[in-house]
Structure 1
Amino acid sequence: MDRISALRNIENALSDFESGEDELRETQRRVLTVLQTYATEFEAERDLSVYRACGDERATGITVVAESKTEATERVAELLDDETVEFDIKGINKR
């Protein structure tokens, strides 16, 4: 999925939410799916990989793009802004 397609899909999800066609939970699911798909297919000049957090409920499902597992762990921890959250990082294979 390219950037434009991802943005269009997110825009469609937001439009459906604004019109009342979808509730917040469904909108969140749709947007998260788009972002995860985009991140999984993300290509860049740097040697980047996609990583997903699992463990604590607050961390599970967070997906980041990073050069290493260590960097991915740091990014997730920064996003959570809570040092007490315990989670593992798993690499996601590109298709």
Structure 2
Amino acid sequence: MDRISALRNVEEALATFEDGDCSLADLEREVRGVLRTYATDFEGELRAYRADGDGPADGLVVLATDRPTARDRIRSLVGEPGPFEVTPVER
């Protein structure tokens, strides 16, 4: 999914919410789904990686070209993340 398609899908979800055809929880699920699809279907050299561990990094997803870069990005986002593993997010 490209950026324009993702933005269109979010815009459609917002319009549905504004029309009263879905709840805030429904809107949040829809937007989260759009963002996850965008991140995992990202076109180009970047790939989505997820941190798995016991600290604040657990569950964090970042885009990077490789695992070491993903680890560095996660560390820069959460400071001292504690022990964690980085795995590619499957599509």
Deviation readout 1:40-88 (Å, 9 max, x if unpaired):
11122xx332212223475344322101111112222323x34145432
* Distance verdict in 2 for CA 1:54–1:16, change over 3 Å: farther
The Cα shift of 1:90 comes to 0.7
TM-score, normalised by the number of residues in structure 2: 0.68
Task: Structure 2: state its 5+ residue gaps.
Answer: none
The Cα shift of 1:2 comes to 2.2
CA contact (8 A) 2:57 2:81 kept: no
Please list, as runs of the form range in 1=range in 2, the aligned pairs for 1:1-95 lying within 5 A after superposition.
Answer: 1-18=1-18, 21-23=22-24, 25-44=25-44, 47-56=45-54, 58-79=56-77, 81-93=78-90
RMSD across aligned C-alpha pairs, in angstroms? 2.8
Q: Percent identity?
A: 44
Q: Residue 42 of structure 1 aligns to a residue in which SS? A: coil
Q: Residue 90 of structure 1 aligns to a residue in which SS? A: strand
1: CA distance between counterparts of 2:74 and 2:60? 7
CA contact (8 A) 1:36 1:63 kept: no
2: CA distance between counterparts of 1:33 and 1:62? 15
2: CA distance between counterparts of 1:19 and 1:56? 41
**Which 4+ stretches in 1 moved above 6 angstroms?**
none
- Equivalenced residues, count: 90
